[in-house]
Each structure stands twice: as C-alpha cells, then as structure tokens.
Structure 1
Amino acid sequence: MTVKLDFEEGLKDSPRFRAEIEDVQNDVSELETRLEKLVKQCQAMLEAGKAYCQTSKSFVNGLRELGHQCSGDKMMADCLEKFSKKLNVIFEAQGEVIETTQKSVRAKLQSFVKEDVRRFKDRRKEFEKSSEALEGALSRNAQAPRGKQHEVEEASNALLNARKAFRSEALDYVLEINVIEAKKKTDILLAMLSLMDAQAQFFLQGHQSLSELDEYRQKLNEEHKQFVLDCAREKRDMEQRHAAVKKKDMSYDDSIMDFNGDAANGIAMEGYLYKRASNAFKTWSRRWFSIQKNQLVYQKKFKDQPTVVVEDLRLCTVKPSFDNERRFCFEVVSPSKCCLLQADSERQQQAWISAVQNSIASAFQERREDTLSPRQRCSSVSTSSLGGGGGGGGVDQENEGCKALEEVQAIPGNRQCCDCGEPGPDWASINLGITLCIVCSGIHRSLGVHFSKVRSLTLDSWEPELIKLMCELGNTVINRIYEARIDEITIKKPNPSSPRGDKESWIRSKYVEKKFIHKLPETGRNPPLRRSSGRRNRATTQIAQRPPLKPKPNRATLPRVTGLSPSDLVQRNNSGFHGDNEEEEEEDLSHLHPGALLYRSAALQNFPVMADALAHGADVNWVNMNDESSTPLIQAVSVNALAACEFLLQNGANVNQADSNGRGPLHHATILGHTGLVCLFLKRGADYNARDKNQKDPITIAVDNANADIVTLLRIAKMNKEMREMDGAFGQPGDETYQDIFRDFSHMASNNPEKLKRRSADPKS
C-alpha cells in the first residue's frame, strides 16, 4: 500500500501539504459522486432483476403446469419437466446472484459513501476549523505588542493551544486520508470480485465467453488476497506510527525544521516567516520561506514561482532586529536592500539566523575547498593575524578553530574521516567525539541533532570544554564500538571516492540502525574498568573533606586527574584505557545493563565505556533508585569530571534533573566546590534558583561554604539574566563582562583547574 500523505508533512503544514490534501479532497468528492450514481444504477438493476426473476418463475410454473397437462404425452411431459427443473435451478441461482449483488455491491458501496466518506468529510471540517483557529492565533500572537506583557502571554498561550489542536487534527486528517485511500481499493475490488464470482457460477451456459476472464480473474483474486494482507499489515504499522507521533508534545512553539545543507532536494531550510513589505504601509505578510541554491526565497502557494529575496547569501549578513514593535524579528542585509522578517518564537528566530549563517559558511567553504586545504587555511589565518589590522574578533575565532583542528586531529584515528577515511577532515560530531569530512558531515547533519551534532573545526568557535571532550574519544575509540561486528557482517566500508549514496547508507546503518555494534546480552563484552589504589585513597580524602550538605559518599567513585594538556590527553589515549603507573584493580562491569553501565562508567570517567553504553541504548538520564535517585551526570559531578559532564550534556543529559534530595548537578557542583562545573552548568542553562529539600539554592550553599568564585559566577549569571529581561535585548551593558568572566573560568577549568581550588578553609572567615 502506498502512503498518500506523510505525517511529518502534516505537522509542517507546508503549501506542498495543502496542495496534496486539496487534490485528495477533489478525488474523494468526485469518487463520492460516481459511487452515488453507481449505487442508484445498481438499485435499478436489482429491482429489474427481481421483477425478471419473479416473472421467470411464473413462466417456469406455467411450463410445469403445461407438462402436467401433457401427461398423456410422455416425451413432452419429460421434456417440460426437465426444462422446468433446469430453468428453476437457473432462476434460483439468478435470485442468489441478485441477493449477492445486494449484499456485496450495493450495500458495500452505499456503506462506503455513507460511512467512510462522511467520516472523511467530518474530519476535513475539524481540520479546516482548527486550521482557521491556528491562523487567527498566529496573527494575534504576531500582533501582540512587546510592551504589553499580559497580551503577549495571552496570545502565546492561545497560540500554543491552537497549534496543539491543529497538529492533532492534522495527524488525524492525514491518517483518515491514507485509510480512505486504502479502503476504497479493498471495498470496490472485493465487491466486484464477489459479483463476478456469482455471475460465473450462474452463467454456466456462458462459460465459454466468461472463461476468457478466468486467468485474469484468478490473477486478480490472488492479487486481492495479497493486497488485503499487505494492506492490513501496513495499516497496523501506520496506526502504530500515528499513535507514536500523536504521543509527542505538540504544544511546542516552533515548527519541525532542521538545517540540512546537503538535502537531496536542495532545500537547506524551510518554514513560515512574516515579511514586512517595503511599501509605505509596511504591511506584514506570512509566507513560506526556504534557503535553496544559495538563495533566500519565498512563496505564497506551492505552485507559485518562488520570489528571490537574496540572490547570493555570501553577499549578505543576518542579525536580530530590536528596533520595531514586533518580537522575534531579524534582518537579512544585502548590498542592495534590507529584508525584515519575523519568526513565531525566539527558538525559530535563532534557528533561521543560524541557518543563514551556516548557508553563508557552507557557500564559502565549497568555494575554498577546491583551492585550500584545512592546514593551508589555518596557515593563511595565522599569517593574516600576524600582519595586524582590523577584524580581531574574527581572527581570534578562526585561530581558535585552527587550534581545535590541530588538537583534535592529533588524537589517534582523527586524521582521517571516521566514516569514509578521507584525509584531513575539518568537521566534527561533538556528541560522538569524531572527525568527519565535509560530505560525511552533511550526512550526519541530516540525521538530526539527536544522533549527531556537527560543527566545523575551522569555521566555528570552540569552547575549551568541547576541545577537552573531543580529545577524550576519537575515531579509533568510536569505531571500535560502532564497527565492532563489521568483519562478521562483511559489509564494505565506503572510501573517499565512494558515491554519496553509499556513504549515506553506511552512516545510517552505523549510527541510526546500529547494525555493526555488539548485540546484547554478551557476557564479557565490556572490558574491566580500572581504578588505582592511589586514586582510591585520594577519593577517601576528598569525601572526608566534603561539607555537611554533600550527597552520601557511597558510590565508591574515583576522581581522575583533571587539567591535562592536549598532548597529555593524546598520550593517554595512545596508551589504551585510562590508567596510570599506580597499582590498579579491575572492576568487571560486563553484567550491567546499559543504563547502569553509563552510571558506573561516568563516575570512573571511562569515556569509551560511556560511549559504548549510549550506543547500546542507555538512557542518559538513567536514575539509580538505590543511590538517592542519582543520575550519570551527578556521578560525573561527584568526581569533578568536566569532560564527562560535557559528554553527557552533549548527548542530551538534563542539566536540571534532581536526585531524591532535590539537588541537581548545579547543587552538587556547588556543594563540592567544583567551580569549573558550576561555570559549565550555568552556560548550559542550569536553574540557579532551584531549591533542595532543605530549601537551599546554589547561591545560599556557595555563601555558606564561603566559595567566592562560585558565588561570583552565580550572582553574575543571575544579574545578567535580570538585565536581559529588563532591557529586552541581548548585548546590553553587562553581557560582555558576563561573557568574559565565564570564558576565563572555562579556560581555567579546562587547562589550569588547580587555580580554581581556592575554597576558604574557614567558612566563617
């Protein structure tokens, strides 16, 4: 069965989707008209057939009576008796044909028209009603003035409810369309087969003429049986998918859209935006925008010719706009004109700004890819920075990118693309910890951020925590996990010259379907984790020095040495697992399920095993009910594992998930005096106002422990947020100081963590 419409298109509500449902509605309307006419014709035929049968039976009775009259003539009597019996059988069979037609054709088609088509129309009305409600809510939300908060909240809440209702109705409507498309085939086909079977049995004398259809009828009958089976199976799968999609939260305030610079249809990004006209009235119109062929275009209807807003994105810039009454606005500025656009939410605004920026970067990247290698680009950046001149911020960012490229490519296996082996990769997946070529990075980006978060090693800015994380893993480590069974399956890995389709198939099989990892359960799959007796002694000392508000030290976790330089990290990775020269003891974790394995390895800071657990489906927010509902992220906090925390956060860990004492990762980092982790969690959106069971928030705990650095970080973060909320715009005074302070603490936590160990020995001092 071919699915007429896709559920994801229904959630997007694109002009393409509207055009498709309009075609479906026209088809159903025409089908209804023809079926109603056919039902009336069938009714007339049945009435005529019943009259014919009744008259025929009277004729047969006349023949029988004539035979009785001719009882003296044995030959005539026998002839009339036999003929009357044969004719009676034929007319009885004809009556059965009429009854079969009544049940299989007329009743089936009439039921389809009265029930299925009517249900389709009712669902269509509900869809159109919710669509109109959503349009009104979108308009009111867009027109809500910035200065009237209560109107903004009312409009936002109304929009959330309208969008949720519309997407629910859209999913139901798409399901109804697909169901009626399948059902009309089965019902009409079954009705016709039943009629033809009855006719074939009735017209025994016309077997010669009907036998020409036997082969076709048998073939059609077999196809119908198989079609019914396939239809039932696909309908079940479709209903399960419908139920799964419908369980998702449909109250979110942004469309389903991801930037995909390597999309097969050439559309890197698409969605609805409001556009302000350049006329004197400055009217706003909602249009379907898309980024394609290095251009920004829009259209009102799917069949309309796209209107080009920007001819070449490389010649434009994009920035937020705060100089008008409407919210979520941004400007696309080119040498010839300025286009003011408005998104439906702040997330959509940031997504579009990032999409335009990524398109600009990709265009330049493609232009420069043929002429300069990544190393040459870094050399040119270094030369330009030594030559002096303006644009220091851009130069610093590119220097940071070159530094990230050098340090990350120094990890074993990282000098070739993790998936195709192309030398000199300058893209990375930060949640997997691997390096990629530009082609494979585009394929990774199309998988979605829940599978792979792609970033350029030369064009993007890199926080020190991310560089530290990338140096903990690498292509060799990850391929040991995701390609563990490649020799058993005998699937050929693509090379740099392989077609893009082969690379895409390989990457999806490797990371989405996970065909090449070891299957669970498998005894002894996980290597023993090692922890040294020296570190165990240090952990005991650290536990004894923790303040009274700490979590219970019953995890027997061991802190690793932090603050290693990239060269130290390279040397450690080259040596295999994370060990030192001290006496080590092994801990066998092969019996643990993935969630518990991630939990335990997070405390031991064993990144290969953490990655292995996630590859086998471990819940990154797994809760240990036997340990105060602690999570892997809290375990990593307990041993001051900055890179492990960043790894868990990049893989979807909830930075605000609390344990049974009401303490989240920020609470634990504050209690233990881990300043670098406090800085990391605040940058990742941790709630500094959250209170534990003792009604203490992180600021109160930091003050009680006399930790000036953490108090400073928490108060600056709180002050910065309050200033932004009060001013209503990013970039007001205070933001630059906030960014500088957090940047300094991030560099210190990643490169010189010993400088952060400045807690006062006397809390009262």
Structure 2
Amino acid sequence: MTPESDDCVLVQSHTCKPSENLVKLCSGMIEAGKAYVSANKLFVNGIRDLSQQCKEDGMISECLEKCGESLQEIVNYHMILFDQAQRSVKQQLHNFVKEDVRKFKETKKHFDKVREDLEIAQVKNAQAPRNKAHEVEEATSALSVTRKCFRHLALDYVLQINVLQAKKKFEILDAMLSFMNAQYTLFQKGYHLLDEIDPYMKKLAAELDQLVIDSAMEKREMEHKHATIQQRVRIDFAYDDSKVEFNVDAPNGVVMEGYLFKRASNAFKTWNRRWFSIQNSQLVYQKKLKDSLTVVVEDLRLCSVKPCEDIERRFCFDVVSPTKSCMLQAESEKLRQSWIQAVQASIASAYRESPDNYYIERLDRTASPSTSSIDSASEPRERSARPDSVPQRVQGLPGNELCCDCGQADPRWASINLGILLCIECSGIHRSLGVHCSKVRSLTLDSWEPELLKLMCELGNGVINHIYEGTCEEQGLKKPGPNSPRQEKEAWIKAKYVEKKFLKKMATGEALANGDRKPESHWSAKKCQRHNSAITAPKGQRKCRQEAVLASNTTLSSAAAALERKFRRDSLFCPDELDSLFSYFDTGSGPRSLSSDSGLGGSTDGSTDVLLFGPVVDSVTEEECEVSEDSSGEAELEPEASDPEDGRELHPGSLLYKACRARNLPAMAEALALGADVNSANEEDEGKSPLIQAVTGGSLIACEFLLQNGADVNQRDSRGRGPLHHATYLGHTGQVCLFLKRGATQTGGDDEGQDPLSIAVQAANADIVTLLRLARMNEEMRESEGPFGQPGQYPSSSPTEHCRSLAPSFPLSHLSHTLSLTHSPPPHYTAL
C-alpha cells in the first residue's frame, strides 16, 4: 500500500474516538440533568410550603401557587428532554460504538498483524543469498502467500471502513435530530406556559410597584412614630411601656391577657411563667399556644382579688376562690394594678350579665365559703332537706326582704362583715370595694357557718341603714331604686360605705357646751341587765327610731330562739380535721337564743348586758325594761351597772370598747362606721383590745363580728395574754374553737409563762384541754404528712384520719346541759 493509502486508513480509524467521547459526555449531561430536576423539585416543594404558610395573605399565596405550578410544568418538560437525550443520543450512539466500532477495531487488529507479516516476508525475501536457491525459493513462496493474504484482508478492511463511515453518519444525524426536536419541544411548551401567565405577571409587577411605594410611605410613618415615642420617653421619665389596657367588652371575649408568674401548689412552692387570660368570666392560663387551657377560677363571680404585700416577691396579688387561692406575680406595679382592675371589672360585668335566676337554679350545688372565710368548712349540705333555708332565715329580719342599698326585692347576696343583704348588682359593686370594706357571700351558693348566720340575724338592713344613712333625710338625698343606673348605685354605695357621707357625726365639745345637743342624746352608753326573754314594746308612743330598735331586738330574740331549735352548729374548727367537734359541744345544751350568745360560755345566770345608745337611752327607764309573762324574773336597769358618759368623753373607740363588753352588735357596727380602730389597745385597761373585751363579755357573735372586720386574733394585752388566753381562763369553749379556727397561736405564754394549754390544765377544763391538744396534734400532723396537707386528701391509714375517727368519742359527759357551759377561772386570774 502507498503512504497515501496508509494515511487515509489511519484517519478513518481515528474518527471513531469522538463518538465514544460524545457518549460519555452525554451520560454526564444526563446525570447532571437528573440532579438539576431533583433540585428543581425541592425548590418547587419549598414554594408550596411557603404558600401554605402565607394563606392569610391572599396576594402572596396566589403568586406562590401560580409560580409553583408553572415551575412544576417546566420541571416536567426538562424531565422529558433528558429522557429523550437518554434514548436518542446516549443509547443510540452507545449501540453504534459498542457493535460496529468494536467489529472495526477487531478487523484493524487483524489487518495490522498481516501487514507486519508481509513486511517480515519482504525483508526475508530481500535477504535471501543468490547462491542458496533453496532459501530464495522459500522466501519467495512465503512472500507470495503473505501478499495474497494481505490483499484480501486489506480489501475487507477498506470495505469495513466504508460501511462504518456510512452508518456513523446516519447514527449521528438521527441522534442529533431527535435531541434537537426534544429541545424544541421543551422551549415551545415552556413559551406557551409562560405566555399564559404573562398577564398575571404584568398585573403582579404593577401591584409590586405600588407595594414598593406603600412600603416607603409606611417606613416613613414608622420612623416618624419611632421618633415621637423616643421624644415622649425623654420627656416623660415615668413612662412604662409594660402597661397593658384591659377591655371588658372585647369582641373576642378576652378581657386581658399576658404573662404572669404563678406559684405552684407543690411542696417547693416554685414559680412558673405562664400565659394568663381573663375570658368568659374565667381566669385561665396555658404554657404554650398549642397546650389546652387550664382553668384557675371557673367563675369569677365567686372570687376576689387583692394585692399581697406580706411575701418576699414584689408585684404579687392573690386571686381567691371558694375552693382555693392562686398567687400570681406581675412584672411591674402598673401591671399588677391593671390585672387587679381587670379581674374586678370582669366580676362586675359577670354580675350585670347573669340574672339572679341563674343562682336560684343552682341551690342544690355544694359550694365552699367565699373569700371572707377561706378556712371554713366545705362539707356538702342538703339545703332542700331543711325546713327553713338560709335565705328564709336571714330575709325574715326587718328590712332584709329588700336590698340594703337599692331596695331590690328578694336579695340573695350578703356582706358578712356589714351584716346586710344585697341584690346581685349591688353585691358586684361591694366586691369592687375590696374585702377590707365589704366581704360578699352568696346566700344560696356558699356554705354558712352558724356563727355567721347568727351574726346576720343580729344586724340586718334596718340596723345598718339606720347607721350609714342617718343624715339622708336631713340632707334631702334620694336613695337609688332597683331600676336606677349602675353608675348611680355605685356612686351611692361608695359615698355610703367608703366616704361615709351619711353618718351622724359625734357631737363636738363646743356644741355640747353651747347646749345644742343634750349630753346623752346621741352618744351615751348604759349597761342594762336582762334575762333570757324578749323585751316587750314599751307603753305609750315613742319616736320612730326607738320603735325600730326595740322592735328589732324583740324580733331578733324570738327569731333566734326558733332558729337555734332548727339549726345546729356543724363547723367551728379546722375545716379538714375537726369540723364536727363544735356540734358535740352544742349537743345537750338545748336551744339558745341570740340574747344569750355566750359561745358555750359566759354568765351562769343566763343574763346579758345590752349597750343602749342614742335617743334610746333617753327613753329607756326601769319601767320600760319589761319582760314577757313567761319570764321567771323581771328585767330592770340596775343603777350600779349604769355607766353614762357624755359626748366629751365617749368617742368611737370607747363606744366600741364598751359595746364589745356589753355584746351590743349595732353599737359595735356604729362605732366601726365612725372610725373606731378594731385593734386599738385600751391603755387604761391593761392594753386590752376590743376582741378581748368581747371575750370577757362572753359573746361568740361579737368575736365573730370583730374578726370579720379585721380584728387580730393574736393581739395581746400588756400582760401578754391574747384572746385565746382569756377565753381559756373564762372557760368559753366556743370562743376557743373560733379562735383556733381563725389561726390563733397557742404556743406563746403570757408574762407568767402560762400558755392556753397549761391554763386549761390548771382549770381542769377537759373540753378546752382536749380541743387545744387536738389542734396542736393537727398542726404537727400537717407538718409531718407533707403532700397530704390539703383537705380531703388524707389516706385512710394517716394519723389525721385516726384523729378524725376519734372525734365522735369526744367526752360529752363533761358538757353541762345548761344554756352556758362555763368553767371557773383559776384563782389567780382576777384581772378580767
């Protein structure tokens, strides 16, 4: 072969290498395309997720949905393109290279080998010597055979090259045409797809331009507001950005919400930050948004709120419900006040929105006492089984058939520290005044301790209105009616109980000196001793005020006697331990009237001292203190017991002090209304408090009245003796029960080192000794039992349950069947 032929064959054989390289590059492109498609799919999925998150914004949601759909179609078109490249370019060229090119390579190898043999035969033929004919003949014969074979193989090789070149041209053109058709289809469909959303894209572009303009304007407004707020902060140093406003009439029903710290009820008393809200007359909280709401107070109508200053943490307030209390902490003082006002406003709103019939339908529900007596017993009571319900007993007093403040008929709420009945709307206003002014309780929903019931029967709307509305007629003021606006009622109640504008003030020294008022016409006090019988109405005409007071006393005495025959005490001790002990003391003592309110102790002759004051004193004589026909004795004023004092000497504090000793609750109420300090100490009488005087007078109801009005149960006199010491000395078992119930401490001794228990032991008073020891044992068990420190959570094997089981075996044989159970005090106790 000529050099030109060799070169042509060599060139043709090298044309197969680019085809093989193209197949490899196509494979790489397809793999990269698949990765691109996968990335595009993830991108489209991200757009769809973002669209779901932005459903509230219609503009963004619509844009993302349309763009996501279009991009998904484009991704599908790309998948078709790469699939076509896989079939047309890669697969088709791969088959060509694998089959045709492989055969060509095998033929080329065989051709190259024969060509080498031909060259060797030519060399041997050229090297054969002339003188060796045999070698020349062999060399010539081998060259001839090899040349013939080479020519045949060369002809086949050239044919193979021509066939390969023709097929390569067809395969490459066909593959590229298919691939380009796929590209055309991709872009054509993509164009049509984008052309369809082109109007929306133009509309979106116009809206986007407007958004840019609006955003710039909003940015300028925000910068202006920011500068204004900064300037206000610089001017007003007292500005507090933590203040939150509340809205009782919020459309969504949420009056107020925000973060508060809540003290847990576990043993460690930990504080946790929770999201609180006032909604639907309930106080609820949750830890996270997805968590369910936890109800703290189910009905705000039966709770109260007050700030707490006696704990270490700041800005705390207590929400007290009938069953529990919840201690909360705000972040600032303003926030605390906002929360307190929000709760009070919600309570008032709930009263306005709920009719009184709502409570009538729930008479049979068992409820715990209200905030004024959280520690009182909450045992279920079957009100329907009793002949007379609590409302009937209390409403039977003069004036109690109507609301004390507006005259609404059938009042079913009470202020236990004032001793009055209220309608539901006025009770809501009283709650807003705070428990220091008025303690509200429901006649139907709350349980009523006997001492509270008797306290309500001692006072009543007539007595309290006589005190707090003493100058209304003189001032020509008109009392609001049942249909008066709430604002008018609220203004009247605040003026009446908070500002006390309608009280009859004490006569000054100058007025008395000038003879403007008789010395004993309004502020005088006398002690009158009477027996256990009702005072009859005096003969002849009397002034209206005299008739009201005496009629009230007569009604109270008869009503109380009937009340006591039908009602028996059932809770005067620890609410979860010894709530039935007091009923054992009353067993066998017979019915007791209010006039003989000795509290299971007092005078042995059944007589009582009554404090008379005001115009009543002017008209009361020995002849007017008559008794009923059934009386065994004659009630009369004892000259030696009379202790008149003129207006220069008798001030509200003295009036309260003397009224407590004489067991006259109306006088005590008027003294407190005029500003007497319930915890004042009488330095002229060994620093004794009014509560100690009430103990000395032997009246359990007087003690209860003072405690309801803030008397300190642990206040001691100059000899170190508290009310519990005096009650123990005098043997007043009922008062001992009451003081223990109200948290009186029995660990401290007086100046002689005597604690109540040692006093009771020296006096051989088995009842009081048992009470004090059980109470002390109860306190020790509470400390030792840990998590069983809540009422009703004691296991049957706990010591508390053993204590409860021993209560019925309390020694009743030691109790007297007389009206008052009195033990003589120790000989050295002469100061009382």
TM-score (norm 1): 0.49
Q: Which has the higher helix share?
A: 1
